């Protein structure tokens, strides 16, 4: 199913380019595509500090994936990227993520909280 969508997506993107080109004109459509690409670059380059990424990895993943979708030229991918940037709509998409992937994130967080920190003293045997 997803393979068929990947084959149909470029055709649909071209059809929407033609449709919006007729409705808005050539230069506004090119401007929108360039603007969405620059927005995608901004979201891909924007960084979060490691503490925020560790506390909320879904936020980081959704932002980076939205940046990738905005960077790809086309109105369907741009709409999906903007959809991912709206926090209240992300949970709708999270329901479609496979359980194996969800468990990977939750298990990783649980393991990091359950780990016990052991302090040790070391002695360098090369120093005399």
pLDDT, one tens digit per residue, over 46-101 is 877 777 777 787 788 888 999 999 999 999 999 989 998 888 887 777 777 777 77
User: Which position has the higher pLDDT, 1 or 100?
Assistant: 100
Assigned domain for 106 exists: no
Give me the pLDDT at residue 70, please: 93
* Structural domains counted in the chain: 1
Assigned domain for 37 exists: yes
Assigned domain for 126 exists: no
DSSP SS3 for 99: helix
pLDDT band at 40; cut points 50, 70, 90:
very high
List CB contacts of 67: < 8 A, sequence separation 6 or more.
Answer: 39, 40, 41, 42, 43, 44, 81
pLDDT, one tens digit per residue, over 3-37 is 777 789 889 999 999 999 999 999 999 999 999 99
**What is the spatial distance between Cα 13 and Cα 2, in angstroms, rounded to a whole number?**
16
Domain residues for the domain of 66 are 24-100
Give me the pLDDT at residue 67, please: 93
Assigned domain for 4 exists: no
pLDDT, one tens digit per residue, over 89-122 is 877 777 777 777 777 666 555 555 556 667 777 7
Assigned domain for 108 exists: no
Chain Cα centroid distance, residue 22: 31
Assigned domain for 128 exists: no
List CB contacts of 17: < 8 A, sequence separation 6 or more.
Answer: 29, 74, 75
Kindly tell me the number of DSSP H helices and DSSP E strands found in the chain. 7, 0
Closest CA to 76 of 16, 3, 2: 16
Give me the pLDDT at residue 27, please: 94
Give me the pLDDT at residue 29, please: 93
Place of tokens 């033609």: 18
Assigned domain for 114 exists: no
């Amino acid at each position: 199913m997803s393979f068929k969508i990947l084959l149909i997506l470029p055709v649909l993107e071209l059809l929407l380019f033609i449709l919006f080109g007729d409705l808005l004109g050539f230069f506004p459509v090119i401007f929108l595509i360039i603007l969405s690409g620059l927005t995608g670059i901004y979201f891909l380059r924007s960084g979060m500090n490691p503490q925020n990424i560790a506390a909320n990895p879904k936020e980081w993943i959704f932002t980076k994936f939205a940046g990738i979708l905005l960077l790809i030229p086309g109105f369907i991918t741009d709409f999906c990227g903007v959809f991912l940037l709206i926090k209240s709509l992300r949970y709708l998409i999270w329901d479609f993520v496979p359980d194996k992937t969800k468990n990977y994130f939750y298990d990783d967080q649980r393991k990091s909280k359950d780990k016990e920190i052991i302090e040790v003293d070391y002695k360098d045997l090369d120093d005399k």
